[in-house]
Amino acid sequence: MTRILVLAHSPLASALREVAMHTFPECAATMETVDVEPTQDAAALEAVLRQRLAAAGAEDTLILVDAYGATPCNVALRVADGVRVRVVSGVNVPMLWRSLCYRHESLGALAQRALSGAVNGIMALAPGESPLRPEGDGRA
């Protein structure tokens, strides 16, 4: 079973855990969070993350981060080298729910499920109209 760790600017990671536990309380043991505080040093964050990954031992870990290029993502990528980790950016509720539902799949398959959950959960809605969905791969 793949562990899921949400690493995001405070208080997003904790808030996402609350949402996840509301819907999937049975997943409490396989999901962790780390909130990154505004004053937190990147080196200290890296140490915390390395400790969490070491505690996981040989378990695969999917790290969901809030924004590509931001501190949580950069630190996750630094510690991912040499461990069984996949980092996925742009965490949202549909991504997290999809990850929890398919946490029994391989790390690579789970990362793909997370991506599809995130994208498929994004729509522009108006009463009486069909939902608008993102076009293409989302790149500008």
| Residue 71 structure tokens | 């501190």
- pLDDT digits 0-9 by tens, 88-133: 999 999 999 999 999 999 999 999 999 999 999 999 999 999 999 9
Do 76 and 7 touch, CB atoms closer than 8 A? yes
- Cβ(62)–Cβ(4) under 8 Å? yes
What's the pLDDT at 16? Answer: 99
pLDDT for residue 136: 63
pTM confidence score: 0.92
Number of Cβ atoms within 10 Å of the Cβ of 33 = 21
CA distance 133 to 94: 14
Domain ranges in the chain?
Answer: 3-120
Q: In one letter, which amino acid is 3?
A: R
Q: What is the DSSP string of 29-97?
A: GGEEEEEEPTT--HHHHHHHHHHHHHHHTT--EEEEESSTTSHHHHHHHHHHTTSSEEEEES--HHHHH
Query: pLDDT averaged over the chain?
Result: 94
What would the CATH number be for the domain defined by 3-120? 3.40.50.510
From 60, 57, 49, 4, select the one nearest 31 (Cα to Cα): 4
Quick one: which H or E segment has residue 118? helix 107-120
